[in-house]
């Protein structure tokens, strides 16, 4: 078990381990590391103020990587059913703290009706964060009855990693999460009290 609290992503950690082991980079190694860094940092939004991810990617791009293809596979492959789901879920976003905090609830049964998987919800919180007035967002993803993965995002006003740690989770300063058990209403009240 190894932790690197200043790393932007697991890809960054893997890169440093591979370098320390003096393993030469090639396309088969560079591509998954690049993919991890792009995904975990959400297009370099969450890099903890470090130039390191950019420097790593500059080295990785010397190998035969197609960034457009990676980005398309990670972020640009919505189906019609995904679009229908987005239309529904975005209409149900709740706003708290004078409209600066958004709350999103994802119910597994709704996904099942459209033949969608849980991992197809990973970009919803980032869509909500693109709203100008919102400073933070919390996504409650129901993995099973009374079992939620709670994801936090912040533009900088709130240090959400501290909130996630209080709930037994962790992550980046402005992008973190936790796994929680309980009813949605109880967990929502708990999270709101932390933000207040």
- The pLDDT tens digits for 51-73 are 888 999 999 999 988 988 988 88
Distances in Å between the Cα of 111 and the Cα atoms of 37, 125, 179 are 27, 16, 19
Phi first, then psi: what are they for 46, rounded to 5°?
Answer: -115, 85
Q: What predicted TM-score, i.e. pTM, was given to this entire model?
A: 0.70
**Per mean pLDDT, which range of 17-21, 83-87, 140-144, 173-177 is the poorest?**
173-177
- The pLDDT tens digits for 35-48 are 999 888 877 776 66
In DSSP terms, 103 is beta-bridged to 94, 138
pLDDT of 2 higher than 70: no
**Helix %, strand %, coil % of the chain (to 5):** 45, 20, 35
pLDDT of 189 higher than 90: yes
Distances in Å between the Cα of 38 and the Cα atoms of 10, 119, 193 are 11, 16, 33
Strand 101-106, strand 136-144: pairing:
parallel
- The pLDDT tens digits for 90-106 are 999 999 989 999 999 99
């Amino acid at each position: 078990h190894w932790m690197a609290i200043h790393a932007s992503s697991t890809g960054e950690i893997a890169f440093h381990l591979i370098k320390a082991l003096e393993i030469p980079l090639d396309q088969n190694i560079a591509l998954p590391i690049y993919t991890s860094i792009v995904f975990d940092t959400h297009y370099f939004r969450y890099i903890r103020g470090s130039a390191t991810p950019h420097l790593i990617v500059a080295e990785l791009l010397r190998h035969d990587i197609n960034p457009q293809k990676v980005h398309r596979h990670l972020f640009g492959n919505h189906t019609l059913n995904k679009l229908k789901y987005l239309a529904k879920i975005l209409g149900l976003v709740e706003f708290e703290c004078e409209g600066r905090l958004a709350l999103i609830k994802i119910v597994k049964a709704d996904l099942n009706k459209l033949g969608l998987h849980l991992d197809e919800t990973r970009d919803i919180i980032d869509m909500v964060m693109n709203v100008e007035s919102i400073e933070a967002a919390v996504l409650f993803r129901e993995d099973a009855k009374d079992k939620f993965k709670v994801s936090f995002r912040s533009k900088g006003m709130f240090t959400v990693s501290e909130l996630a740690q209080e709930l037994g989770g962790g992550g980046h300063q402005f992008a973190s999460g936790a796994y929680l058990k309980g009813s949605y209403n109880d967990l929502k009240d708990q999270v709101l009290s932390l933000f207040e």
